[in-house]
A = this chain, B = another copy of it.
Amino acid sequence: MSELNTPQPDTTSVTTNTRPALLALDWGTSSLRAFLLDATGQVLDTRASAHGIQNLPQPGEAGFRQAFADIASGWLDAHPGLPAVAGGMVGSAQGWREAPYVSCPADLQTLAAHAAQVDTGRPGTTLLIAPGLIHRPVGAAPDVLRGEEIQIAGALAHHPEWSAHACMVLPGTHSKWVEVRGGSVQRFVTHMTGELFAALARHTILGRLFPEAPASAAEARQGFELGVAAARKAGPGDLGHQLFAVRTLGLTKQLPPGALPEYLSGLLIGHELVSGIGRLGGTGTATPLLLIGDPKLCQRYVQALTLLNRPPAAVLDNTAPAGLLDFARAAGLLRATPEESPT
């Protein structure tokens, strides 16, 4: 998002007649996004800044306070007493106030009960920060997420029918596969797919044959589909071998250079899907598979899932505003039921 390159807030106003009810922050490592919401979850106004927790205007507590003031003061001046909530890395050990990981299973009530509160420096305004989640499977390493719990709550707010049972996939640097059952996150699995792609493309021999210019659509499709097809045939431990094909298919000119990064992408996403479906996807189509995240990245996952005969039930863009609203509701900061539903 280009507006994140500058620390100056970028304001987009939406004309509305409804009354602001919540100031909601999606505060990550490299960016800060703010939403002014009414009691039904309608976004009245949004702002974005580059003041992620690793890019504050000054170090420490003062940096957090200033970043908060920069993005929120205008709204708070106009609407005194507005409650404020946040999710994301702002609640990590490197954040403003740590909201330690809460064990699964966890629902919105669990998140609200373990939220951390921080004095924003503005009299009368405290910020309630959602905790992340930890899953401790028997006989395996623990897994953690932070920020995605809000996206999941938002997806369930938009689609309550998925509360009973769904598998939510949030693609990214660290993709998350999340099993929801009975309205709670039961368990989840991280795949380092995005970070693997970046490290392999930039810092191994595999990127050497990658072209400067992007591939044609046909080349990109060919490479991606072949990568997914290879992943589908993978046995345990095969990734370290299959990766080498990115080089040999280029060396032997079986794939044009433009198709090679796409092959790598298809191979890595394919591996994630094969593993994720095996672990959390359930059998057949009984478990709805939902994608949440950046539309362009989600499109790759739709393409790969379709090749694996497991097309997703839905693709959702950013669900953080709805999730933050329900988190605030669960914490008692808003009335449980809105007076009117304008949508």
Contact = CB atoms under 8 A, between A and B. Distances in A.
Q: Which secondary structure dominates where chain A touches chain B? A: helix
A237 B199 contact: no
A241 B273 contact: no
Contact of A192 (B134, B204, B234): B204
On chain A, which size bracket covers the interface?
A: 35 or more
Contact of A270 (B195, B203, B237): B237
A275 B191 contact: no
B239 A271 contact: yes
Interface string A183-202: 00000011111011011101
Contacts of A141: 230, 242, 244-245, 248-249, 254
A239 B241 contact: no
Interface in A259-276: 268, 270-276
A143 interface: yes
A314 interface: no
A243 interface: yes
A248 B142 contact: yes
A240 B275 contact: yes
Interface string A139-180: 111111000000000000000000000000000001000000
Contact of A239 (B143, B204, B237, B248): B237
Contacts of A245: 140-142
A123 interface: no
Interface in A181-235: 189-193, 195-196, 198-200, 202-205, 230-231, 233-235
A118 interface: no
Contacts of A230: 140-141
A238 interface: yes
A236 interface: yes
Interface string A312-324: 0000000000000
A205 B231 CA distance: 24
Contacts of A248: 141-144
Contacts of A332: none
In the A-B complex, the 7 residue pairs with the smallest Cβ-Cβ separation, listed nearest first, are A237-B275, A141-B245, A237-B274, A237-B271, A191-B240, A190-B244, A199-B203
